[in-house]
Structure 1
């Protein structure tokens, strides 16, 4: 009798959770998608609100903000090996 009762309780809990998940799953998915949308908008919203510097520039004007660092190349890298092509 105890085994039958345990199996019946497990089956009722399983089917109860299955029915409840069908009812509440759409609401949970909506809530999760809304939260994800808020986080996504919060991360990328700061870039849209940033002031633009380019409004002060006239068309065709060239400005250099930073000069690139010049790297000196080492001419004595490796050895030159002369070779002949063999047919």
Structure 2
């Protein structure tokens, strides 16, 4: 009974250390691969987002003129008089 328990504990400890060792060994390669995949996806999205503009460089286009009846607010806000506390 006790021998089986000790054997099980040793197996668990062995597999824990083996897993840690293998994780330290292979984790950098796996992380590098994942980062490269993410970078490729980001580059692909960036390439697809760039619009192909027919406007020449330096040319200005105005889509909509500003409204003539737009009035600015002349009151900025309420004035608050603060008192100094000694």
Runs of 5+ consecutive residues of structure 1 not aligned to the other structure: 73-87
Superposition RMSD on alpha carbons, in Å? Answer: 2.8
User: Runs of 4 or more off by more than 6 Å in structure 1?
Assistant: 68-72
User: Which position in structure 2 is the counterpart of 1:54?
Assistant: 55
Closer, same or farther: CA 62–6 of 1 in aligned 2, 3 Å: closer
CA 1:15 to 1:62, structure 2 compared with 1: closer, same or farther past 3 Å? closer
User: Normalising to structure 1: TM-score of the pair?
Assistant: 0.62
Mark the runs of 5 or more structure 2 residues left unpaired by the alignment.
71-86
Tell me the CA shift for residue 70 of structure 1.
8.3
Change (3 A) 1:53 1:12: same
TM-score using structure 2 length = 0.62
Summarize the Cα distance change of 1:34–1:71 in structure 2 as closer, same or farther, 3 Å threshold: farther
